A and B are shown apart, each in its own frame.
Chain A
Amino acid sequence: MGPVSPAAAAPPTAADRELLARSDVAAHAPDAFRARVRVRPLAGGAARELEIWKGEGGEALVRLLDPSQRGKFFLQRPEGLFLITPGTRQPVRLDPSHRLAGGVSLQEILGLRLGRDYELVDVRRHGSGAQAQAVLALTAKADGLPHARVRWVVRVADARPLRAELLLPSGKVARMLEFRDWGAGSRLAPRQLVVKDLLRGGQAFAVELLELAAAEPPPAIFALDGDAARAALGGTGG
């Protein structure tokens, strides 16, 4: 499925805003959770498993479960994304759009906070009945987000997102997230999505959610100097 071509757009209505809220995957996730995901390049290559802890304050910690990557973490804090590795004495600050493993960014795994970070600017609708789709054009409310513009394509009937097109400021589609499978239950939780890097010849990765459970993160794992707490995570799974 290719990027959506521009067509006649209409200003958003209250119904469109409600559709956005209902389809906002990240907003439906538990406030704090532990998740395990597998990232696999579709062109072939080794799959990597990641353990993700998310706190109520929006912090997130990604632990690489590959034995060769022991001791390596990505830490998302309000002030930015950090790499924590045994080779460095201090966490190393990274670009927020940095790819964690296999070319997938933390935002792409955790979900974009559409309702919080983006503003709905216009809407286009396609099809009718069960096939009706809405293309919601979103722009970032503030600088510093990895993607300045997002096209959020939603099936209107059940408010299930179909894909997200992440645009550069120029309007070029840089990456595309396709939601392939959904978890059972009433909660809007994707079980599998495919991330495509359209700037690198469509390189694609499947992201599979293996576990997701509401959980209180162990104390201090989100602290920059929380090495001991993070080291203790070794026995918590993976």
Chain B
Amino acid sequence: MTLAWIALRNLARNRRRTLLSLLVVAAGSVGILLTAGFITFSFQGLAEAIVRGGLGHFEIVRRSALGGSADRLDRPIEHGLEDWQRLRRRVEALPEVAAATANVHLLGMATAGQATASFVGLGVEPERQRAMGFTTRLRAGESLPPVPPLIGEEVVLLASGLADTLGVGPGDWVTLMAVTPHGMLNALDARVVGTYTTGLQDLDTRFLQVPLATAQRLLETPLVADLVVTLEKGVPLERGAAALERLAAGHDPPLAVVGWRQRAPYYRQVRDLYRGIFWFLGSVVFVLVVLSTSNTLLMAVMERLRELGTLRAIGTGRAQLAAIVLCEALWLGVLGGALGCLLGLLATWGINALQLQMPPPPGAVDPIDLRLALLPQAFAGTVLLMTAVLAVAAIVPVARAVRLRIVEALGHV
């Protein structure tokens, strides 16, 4: 304790140099905090967008639809759910579950006049989707109506790029063609009620949504491809998964419960990319802080050689001397980290208050918000990290102090 106090007083002796070191540590801390805040906000935003974009927290699907691979994303209707309405009632009776909705996946051709384009479609239950908080970013017209359309009154919501390719807008008619599970071609006329964006340009040229009943009529099937489930607020994913797994156990035909992360390879790719960026930036900050503070600490040792020699001459041990230098470094880490946290907090508030936007990432349609998440654990972790970084930076100065020879030190000018 005494050594720590002595080390703190030593730092106070050269306030300018100490302040400079503290600022270096604080700047590194701010950099790490802002990066962590941005990445965390991006993860949270992307996860929320994916879950609320229609993926839900879990999917219940026939095991045979996965074809032995949990990463398989297509859901052939041949492996669809027959008793889906009864199954949904059981799922929604679980206390962990907020709601469940059925989907039918489509692949086919859309034509309007002379224009033809292939599409990837989804049959959805609009009213349930809205109740589950699923969002559709409309560009024009209206969303799909809440009530299933009557036969002959089919409607479709086209992604904006697909609507452009077909040269249609709200109120126009398109013909949707798809091959049924029995290998027969079928076609339906559908009125375009609106256009929307998926958020990604490539997907916008292919995607469409139709009411579930329309999709089933197009495929001439009463089956649905899967049930998408959202959990009640605050229910951990693990608990939700366990409850659904228990419900699915023993079902004939066998069912699989698939988490949203498994069905979102895009999320995994973005997360891995951001993690890579974070570790790269963290490494750069680590090296910069270590080099600059190590230099400062070494200077502090070199300037005090006679003093340190005197301490050794009056009986101070090498370990005590090393502890003093190490404590000085640790104080710089703790205080610099704390200062960085304070500055990081202010910077986070300031940036969030400015409500800045960044240009759309490659392939995306809309600009993204530049927001930073406030993470208590990141603040605590940054102080600990900076303390550890300064401990590493102190290795050379401590070694120099330990190797000090009393006679040379006392004669040092």
Chain A residues with CB under 8 Å of chain B are: 46, 48, 64, 68-69, 72, 83, 85, 87-90, 92-94, 98-103
Contacts and interface: CB of A to CB of B under 8 A. Distances in A.
Contacts of B177: 83, 92
Contacts of A102: 183
B217 interface: yes
B182 interface: yes
Contact of A101 (B152, B175, B183, B188): B183
Nearest to A93: B111
Interface in B201-234: 217-218, 220
B111 A68 contact: no
A35 B261 CA distance: 54
Contacts of B220: 68
A89 B189 contact: yes
B241 interface: no
B189 A87 contact: yes
B110 to A, nearest CB: 11
27 contacts: A46-B182, A64-B184, A69-B184, A72-B184, A72-B186, A83-B177, A83-B185, A83-B187, A85-B186, A87-B152, A87-B154, A87-B187, A87-B189, A87-B217, A87-B218, A88-B188, A89-B173, A90-B189, A92-B111, A92-B175, A92-B177, A99-B183, A99-B185, A100-B185, A101-B183, A101-B184, A103-B183
A88 B177 CA distance: 10
Nearest to B173: A89
Nearest to A89: B189
B141 to A, nearest CB: 21
A91 to B, nearest CB: 9
A88 B218 CA distance: 11
Contacts of A89: 173, 189
Given A68-B220, A92-B175, A92-B177, A87 B111 contact: no
B118 to A, nearest CB: 12
B77 to A, nearest CB: 15
Given A68-B220, A92-B111, A92-B177, A87 B182 contact: no
Contacts of B217: 87
Contacts of A64: 184
A88 B189 contact: yes
A55 to B, nearest CB: 22
Contacts of A98: 185
B116 to A, nearest CB: 9
A82 to B, nearest CB: 10
A101 B185 CA distance: 8
A90 B187 CA distance: 10
Interface in B149-204: 152, 154, 173, 175, 177, 182-189
B411 to A, nearest CB: 89
Contact of A88 (B182, B184, B187): B187
Interface residues of B, number: 17
A191 B389 CA distance: 85
Contacts of A68: 220
Nearest to A100: B185
B24 to A, nearest CB: 65
Contacts of B183: 99, 101-103
A88 B185 contact: no
A69 B220 CA distance: 9
A200 to B, nearest CB: 12
Contact of B186 (A46, A87, A94): A87
A89 B173 CA distance: 10
Nearest to A205: B183
A106 to B, nearest CB: 12
A121 to B, nearest CB: 33
A204 B156 CA distance: 36
Given A87-B188, A94-B185, A101-B183, 7 more contacts: A64-B184, A72-B186, A85-B188, A87-B186, A90-B175, A92-B187, A99-B185
B144 to A, nearest CB: 18
A99 B183 CA distance: 9
B176 to A, nearest CB: 9
A103 B184 CA distance: 9
A101 B179 CA distance: 10
Interface in B21-64: none
Q: Interface centre among A48, A87, A99, A102, by most B CB within 10 Å?
A: A87
Contacts of A88: 175, 187-189
Closest 10 CB pairs of A and B: A87-B188, A88-B189, A92-B187, A88-B187, A85-B187, A92-B175, A88-B175, A89-B189, A83-B187, A102-B183
Contacts of A92: 111, 175, 177, 187
Nearest to A94: B185
A48 to B, nearest CB: 8
Contacts of A69: 184
A179 B217 CA distance: 37
Nearest to A103: B183
Interface in B131-156: 152, 154
Nearest to A39: B183
A102 B186 CA distance: 14
Nearest to B189: A88
Q: Interface centre among A48, A83, A88, A94, by most B CB within 10 Å?
A: A88
A88 B112 CA distance: 12
A72 B175 CA distance: 15
Nearest to B151: A87
Nearest to A74: B185
B78 to A, nearest CB: 11
Nearest to B214: A87
A105 to B, nearest CB: 12
Contacts of A94: 185
